[in-house]
């Protein structure tokens, strides 16, 4: 997963969603093509419980998808947004991400997309279970510490789930930043180091990112201390 997406979703105020749908509603021909690709990726996903949950949430209007937004993520992004008068999880999908091959062959491309989908669905699952509730985009400066803590927790859970799947499907190299640090420091410290570098190096789409980094550094140092005890 590209962490520029993280910053876009959790900090920048999402603008207008287009064609937001729980079920397959009126989509453009291109969006129908993308939706078909997504459905197939979900159907063939190695974690079938995730596939079943995704399909059920979408069918029952618990999860909505969007293929159009004024602020488009490079791949996929999850967000708590107002749809039909209520706050619901929305996954925004950049059509070009699913329509093109990534920088891998066909088999590796499918693995990578399965990882990205799993990451975003993990956000939704953690929100629905209460483990890491999603929040509407945007925050006030005096809310920065709280928002940073919530962002760290949410992304930690989703990235950890993605990493565990990567190990299961022989796809650790598709999460190279984590793989590199784990090779250097071992599983626990390596994952922490890799995650910290990813979150701190996320693209600064919003100048509010700088307000979150001090808290992220504090959390990192606390977690590092725990590993040394």
**pLDDT tens profile 16-41:** 444 455 555 567 888 889 999 999 99
Structural tokens at position 138:
């945007």
Looking at the 3D structure of the chain, how many domains does it have? Answer: 1
Which pLDDT belongs to residue 72? Answer: 79
Instruction: Write the DSSP symbol of residue 18.
Output: E
Query: 0.75 cut: is pTM over it?
Result: yes
Give the up-direction half-sphere exposure of residue 207: CA atoms within 13 A in the CB hemisphere. 1
Which pLDDT belongs to residue 207? Answer: 60
CA distance 179 to 56: 33
DSSP 160-227: HHHHHHHHHTT-GGGGHHHHHHHHHH-HHHHHHHHHHHHHHTS--SSTTHHHHHHHHHHHHHHHHHHH
Q: Distance between alpha carbon 205 and the CA centroid of its chain, in Å?
A: 16
Which pLDDT belongs to residue 101? Answer: 85
Report, as ranges of residue numbers, the positions in the chain whose pLDDT lies below 70. Answer: 1-26, 203-207
Which pLDDT belongs to residue 25? Answer: 54
Which pLDDT belongs to residue 21? Answer: 59
Q: Which residues contact 175 (CB under 8 A, 6 or more apart)?
A: 115, 162, 163, 166, 194
Burial (CB < 10 A; 0-12, 13-18, 19+), residue 192, is buried
Which pLDDT belongs to residue 198? Answer: 92
Q: Which among 14, 27, 26, 69 is positioned nearest to 205, based on CA atoms?
A: 14
**Which range of residues forms the domain containing residue 114?**
3-228
Instruction: Write the DSSP symbol of residue 50.
Output: H
CB 9 within 8 A of CB 136: no
Which pLDDT belongs to residue 73? Answer: 83
Which pLDDT belongs to residue 84? Answer: 84
């Amino acid at each position: 997963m590209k962490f520029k997406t993280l910053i876009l979703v959790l900090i920048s105020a999402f603008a207008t969603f287009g064609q937001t749908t729980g079920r397959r509603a009126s989509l453009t021909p291109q969006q129908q093509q993308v939706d078909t690709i997504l459905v197939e990726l979900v159907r063939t996903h190695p974690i079938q419980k995730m596939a079943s949950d995704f399909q059920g949430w979408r069918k029952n209007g618990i999860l909505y998808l969007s293929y159009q937004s004024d602020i488009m993520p490079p791949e996929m992004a999850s967000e708590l947004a107002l749809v039909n008068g209520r706050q619901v999880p929305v996954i925004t999908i950049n059509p070009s991400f699913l329509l093109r091959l990534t920088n891998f062959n066909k088999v590796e491309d499918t693995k990578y997309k399965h990882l990205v989908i799993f990451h975003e669905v993990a956000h939704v699952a953690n929100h629905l279970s209460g483990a890491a509730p999603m929040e509407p985009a945007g925050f006030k400066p005096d809310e920065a510490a709280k928002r940073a803590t919530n962002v760290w927790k949410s992304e930690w859970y989703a990235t950890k789930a993605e990493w565990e799947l990567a190990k299961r499907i022989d796809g650790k190299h598709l999460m190279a930043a984590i793989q590199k640090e784990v090779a250097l420091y071992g599983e626990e410290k390596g994952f922490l180091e890799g995650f910290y570098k990813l979150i701190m190096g996320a693209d600064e789409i919003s100048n509010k990112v700088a307000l979150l980094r001090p808290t992220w550094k504090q959390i990192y140092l606390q977690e590092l201390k725990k590993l040394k005890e």
